[in-house]
A and B are shown apart, each in its own frame.
Chain A
Amino acid sequence: MNDELELSVRRDGDELELLAPAPGAFTLALEEGALLFAGATAGVLRVLERDHVLRVPAGVHGRVTNARPERVHEPVGHGALLYRLAPLDAAGLTSAPVGGAAAAEGTSGLVLRSPQSGRFYHRPAPGDPAFAEAGTELSVGDPVGLLEVMKTFSHVPYRAQDGLPQRARVVRLLAGDGAEVRRGDVLLEVEPA
């Protein structure tokens, strides 16, 4: 039998944040796009080799908008952000089944995500042509944009991971030019070329 812990809640404007109720290893995290509602289980927090099922507290529901941690057992402190929830509207409830942001955003499911949090730019310099736009064919390693992280710019390469093909064609850019992105946010949608 597992113990249970209730997630802590913090309200941040329109969004709700669900926080770790204790330090521990966070595992079985839900994917981005998952729907959460009061009483649902939302992963497991392992505290001193004991698993605690994480419960969503009463009065809380929404869709997860952050990516899940890269590590299977992510060490978190008390109060660490585990889930950020966007409010549900009627449309959200009907058109967004559990199963990933791709579906939620109405894409075919092939998306390239930001490897880091930062500011995303479409062009190498203002006035230059964009790295990629709808119709551009990409192969592994081709730059799709620039990411500014702590005043350092680096290319975001196309990578054949998370089910993406070796060669792809850009369907559309989803992150705006100069947009703030978080790690795991969708940058662009592609289709096999």
Chain B
Amino acid sequence: MFKKLLIANRGEVAVRIARSARELGVACVGVASESDLGSSWLFAMDEVVPIGGAAPRDSYLDMLRVLQAGVQTACTAVHPGWGFLAENPRFAALAEQHGMTFVGPPASVMARLGTKLPAKAAFEAAGLQGIPGSAHALESVDEALELAQRIGYPVMIKADAGGGGRGIRRCTAADQVRDQFGAARAEAEAAFGDGALFLEKCVDNGRHVEVQVVCDAFGNAIHVGERDCSVQRNHQKLVEETPCPLLSAEERERLGTAAARAAAAIGYVGAGTIEFLRAPSGELYFMEMNARLQVEHPVSEMISGLDLVRLQLQVAANQVLPVRQADVRLEGCAIECRINAEDASDNFRPTPGVLEVYDFPLDVGPGTLRFDTHLAAGDEVPPEYDSLLGKLIAYAPTRAEAIETLLAGLAAARVEGVSTTIPLHRAVLASDDFVSGDYDTSKIPGWSMAGSER
């Protein structure tokens, strides 16, 4: 195992990684921007290296500064967390070049996963079904029109280098494809530095179902069940749960097995997530693979009893996966709410500020609660970074009990100083649509975007 780990991230994920690293006896080196210096989450680190200015590009996104922090503190591994440099193959390669093991997949595999079309081709070859659409970047509007005609409207024009819900345009007719194509290309060029576009059939009212996998460097792969992340706003996930309420035990097993096999086939190493879109007809289409630990990983940990960060570190240290598929027992139901510093009733306006009160009692039932956060009362939520305060996770034997537990936890929570998404979560979890499991990514169940609770 590594002696010293560089945690190339901030906030909640940095604290989460430090917890598992410490359990393995690994010392943690944190990095901090000017605005994070003095933040209480840095106490989770054994050492902290100030790396730059408050703006992410001057600190957490500057791979030279981040890696130099590891070099001068003699780290032998770097964990990128999520966001920032987590899915940057150059960063992974540069870390290895400077003597630090990258906790994640090999840079070459990550590079392939980062572009949509080669990833889709690789996974189709590995046995997963992709959404019908183009197999290579579109050359022209005519090609787009011809393909759209063949697979049927509505279609989506997507930027090959896009992500996080950006760079996607929906077209219901040929006119729109004609209108949107040039703008989409210009936008992709400007936003991602790559104007390559492709086209896919638009699956309306789909559900976002993703499978957690962990692979070691010796070809072993396990899946830790699926997560349903269909409660979204503008492709940003708000509530995640496992198991997906729509899948039968048999479908679940088949999906998980196929995902684990595909991940091993493409040479993946580490913890990763394969995302699927479930059409109302029940078809599961491969969307993409996220080559990192995900924000919503705790729900998978709750139903499996596994520590995914611990597994990440173990396989990165070239250990054989300590669990095999037969050892992975998925029991119960877990639901996670992302508590963001946003005012959901005011169009999700971010509300940075000082947390005057920050209290999440966990001793409410019937199930158990877990709260992952890096903050405490008195801390400041800086305006430079994302608005995630923490994640409240409920675990119970049944879905109904998990919902009840989470609602009790949200009701007991007290936050003052910033607005939070707690009112939104209470409305969602109490809504008939969510309780019945009958909702999709197109709208937030129990919440009307006009701003008032239903």
CA distance A47 to B68 in the complex (A): 6
The answer to whether B414 has its CB under 8 Å from any CB of chain A is no
Evaluate whether A23 and B98 lie within 8 angstroms (CB atoms) in the complex, with A47-B65, A78-B34 already known. Answer: no
Q: How far is the CB of B47 from chain A (nearest CB, A)?
A: 10
- Do residues A48 and B73 form an inter-chain contact, with CB atoms below 8 A? no
- Chain B residues near A184: list those with CB within 8 A: none
- Chain A residues near B64: list those with CB within 8 A: 22, 47-48, 50
CA distance A78 to B52 in the complex (A): 5
- What number of residue pairs across chains A and B have CB atoms under 8 A from each other? 46
Q: Mark contacts of A24-62 with chain B using CB atoms, 8 A cut-off: 1 yes-contact digit, 0 otherwise.
A: 110000000000000000000001111000000000000
Evaluate whether A75 and B73 lie within 8 angstroms (CB atoms) in the complex, with A23-B51, A47-B64 already known. Answer: yes
Task: Name the residue on B nearest A25 (C-beta).
Answer: B72
Evaluate whether A24 and B68 lie within 8 angstroms (CB atoms) in the complex, with A77-B51, A78-B50, A78-B51 already known. Answer: yes
Q: How many of chain A's residues touch chain B, expressed as a range?
A: 10 to 19
Task: Name the residue on A nearest B63 (C-beta).
Answer: A48
The answer to whether A98 has its CB under 8 Å from any CB of chain B is no
The answer to whether B266 has its CB under 8 Å from any CB of chain A is no
- Chain B residues near A80: list those with CB within 8 A: 50
Evaluate whether A79 and B68 lie within 8 angstroms (CB atoms) in the complex, with A23-B50, A48-B98 already known. Answer: no
CA distance A75 to B72 in the complex (A): 6
The answer to whether B151 has its CB under 8 Å from any CB of chain A is no
Task: Name the residue on B nearest A74 (C-beta).
Answer: B72
Q: Mark contacts of B68-92 with chain A using CB atoms, 8 A cut-off: 1 yes-contact digit, 0 otherwise.
A: 1101110000000000000000000
- Chain A residues near B67: list those with CB within 8 A: 48
- Chain A residues near B50: list those with CB within 8 A: 23, 77-80
Task: Name the residue on A nearest B58 (C-beta).
Answer: A78
CA distance A50 to B67 in the complex (A): 12
CA distance A50 to B97 in the complex (A): 13
Q: How far is the CB of A143 from chain B (nearest CB, A)?
A: 35
CA distance A22 to B90 in the complex (A): 20
- Do residues A22 and B68 form an inter-chain contact, with CB atoms below 8 A? yes
Q: Mark contacts of B44-56 with chain A using CB atoms, 8 A cut-off: 1 yes-contact digit, 0 otherwise.
A: 0000111111000
CA distance A23 to B37 in the complex (A): 14
- Chain B residues near A47: list those with CB within 8 A: 64-65, 68
CA distance A62 to B68 in the complex (A): 30
- Do residues B73 and A22 form an inter-chain contact, with CB atoms below 8 A? no
Task: Name the residue on B nearest A46 (C-beta).
Answer: B68
Task: Name the residue on B nearest A50 (C-beta).
Answer: B64
Evaluate whether A48 and B51 lie within 8 angstroms (CB atoms) in the complex, with A23-B65, A78-B65 already known. Answer: no
- Do residues A49 and B72 form an inter-chain contact, with CB atoms below 8 A? no
Contact of A49 among B52, B53, B65, B98 (CB under 8 A): B98
- Chain A residues near B73: list those with CB within 8 A: 75
Q: How far is the CB of A7 from chain B (nearest CB, A)?
A: 14
- Do residues B68 and A23 form an inter-chain contact, with CB atoms below 8 A? yes
- Do residues B34 and A48 form an inter-chain contact, with CB atoms below 8 A? no
Q: Mark contacts of B243-266 with chain A using CB atoms, 8 A cut-off: 1 yes-contact digit, 0 otherwise.
A: 000000000000000000000000
- Do residues B72 and A23 form an inter-chain contact, with CB atoms below 8 A? yes
Q: Mark contacts of A1-30 with chain B using CB atoms, 8 A cut-off: 1 yes-contact digit, 0 otherwise.
A: 000000000000000000000111100000
Task: Name the residue on A nearest B74 (C-beta).
Answer: A75
Evaluate whether A77 and B49 lie within 8 angstroms (CB atoms) in the complex, with A22-B65, A25-B72 already known. Answer: yes
CA distance A49 to B52 in the complex (A): 18
- Chain A residues near B49: list those with CB within 8 A: 23, 77-78
- Chain A residues near B51: list those with CB within 8 A: 22-23, 77-78
- Chain B residues near A79: list those with CB within 8 A: 34, 37, 50
Among B37, B51, B94, chain A packs the most CB atoms within 10 A around the CB of B51
- Chain B residues near A24: list those with CB within 8 A: 68, 72
Q: How far is the CB of A26 from chain B (nearest CB, A)?
A: 10
- Do residues B52 and A48 form an inter-chain contact, with CB atoms below 8 A? no
CA distance A75 to B53 in the complex (A): 18
Task: Name the residue on B nearest A45 (C-beta).
Answer: B68
Q: Mark contacts of B7-51 with chain A using CB atoms, 8 A cut-off: 1 yes-contact digit, 0 otherwise.
A: 000000000000000000000000000100100000000001111
- Chain A residues near B71: list those with CB within 8 A: 48
Q: How far is the CB of A119 from chain B (nearest CB, A)?
A: 27
CA distance A27 to B289 in the complex (A): 44
A-B contact pairs, 25 of them (CB 8 A): A22-B51, A22-B68, A23-B49, A23-B51, A23-B52, A23-B69, A23-B72, A24-B68, A24-B72, A47-B64, A47-B68, A48-B64, A48-B67, A49-B98, A75-B72, A75-B73, A77-B48, A77-B51, A78-B34, A78-B49, A78-B51, A78-B52, A79-B37, A79-B50, A80-B50
Q: Which 7 A-B pairs have the closest CB atoms?
A: A75-B72, A77-B50, A78-B50, A78-B52, A47-B68, A77-B49, A23-B68
